Amino acid sequence: MRFDLITLFPDYMRNCAQVGVIGRAIERGLLGLHCWNPRDYTDDPYRRVDERPFGGGPGMVMLVDPLQRTLAAARADDGELARVIHFSPRGQLLTQARVRELATLPRLILIASRYEGVDQRFLDQHVDEELSIGDYVLAGGELAALVLLEAVGRLQAGVLHSADSAQQDSFGESGLLDCPHYTRPEHLADGEVPPVLLSGDHAAIARWRREQQLLQTAQRRPELLAHARLSDADKALLKKHGYVV
């Protein structure tokens, strides 16, 4: 899968993408990453890409022309069709369900803007969708683009050591949060490993993990239960612990 990042800070984006799972996937050719700087596509001698907003007010607004040229260059670099995404507090909240949908596409062009915003005419003409990673404001869209890069990238074939990892994550196929995890040593002053995990009884371990998923979700994110895949046994367990679904 190919990612094209339109950003004023390409070196920052490349450096962040060099580490961990995503960095290894790029090295192995499982993911492609290309960065495009709008300052390279402006005729302004000072490489300006922003201007004061009409109507007054604080902040600066990114200009249409440099962004338009940058996007055209990114599109022309590869014949593959791409979905164009801009990150904004006004965008739809990014969810794991949307991540799974985007992961099926061959190419994404991610626009990480800065300043007060982007000239609306560029967004209207060239952006397919706007996304937000939460109800807060950042200085720019770079961190949001990296979030999407990692969330989508890790779902590509061969990126994770085990394909089952993505299935068992929080917000996976079940729609529930993940269960707690433990490792060595078995005994610590801060607590013990639940005995069931040491039993070797795989059926009992599977039941414990499912129960923990249900209880963790009910306690921490109860709104997720309304859309989760729950069996009659799941509902009975939740009811036993005082949760009604």
Does the annotation count 135 as an active-site position? no
Q: 86: buried, middle or exposed (CB in 10 Å: 19+, 13-18, 0-12)? A: buried
Helix axes 142-153, 20-27, angle to 10 degrees: 70
Q: Which of 2, 78, 89, 221 is catalytic?
A: 89
Q: Which of 169, 178, 207, 221 is catalytic?
A: 169
CA–centroid distance for 228 within its chain: 20
Q: Which helix (H) or strand (E) holds 209?
A: helix 202-220
CA distances from 169 to 30, 69, 138, 151, 225 (A): 21, 39, 27, 12, 16
Does the annotation count 40 as an active-site position? no
What gap in Å lies between CA 28 and CA 22, rounded to an integer? Answer: 10
Q: Which of 116, 130, 209, 221 is catalytic?
A: 116
**SS3 label, residue 164:** helix
Q: Which of 38, 154, 211, 234 is catalytic?
A: 154
Does the annotation count 114 as an active-site position? no
**Which amino acid would we find at residue 163?**
A
Terminal C-alpha separation, the chain: 39
With tokens 């990238």, the residue in question is 153
Does the annotation count 169 as an active-site position? yes
Q: List residues with catalytic annotation.
A: 89, 116, 154, 169
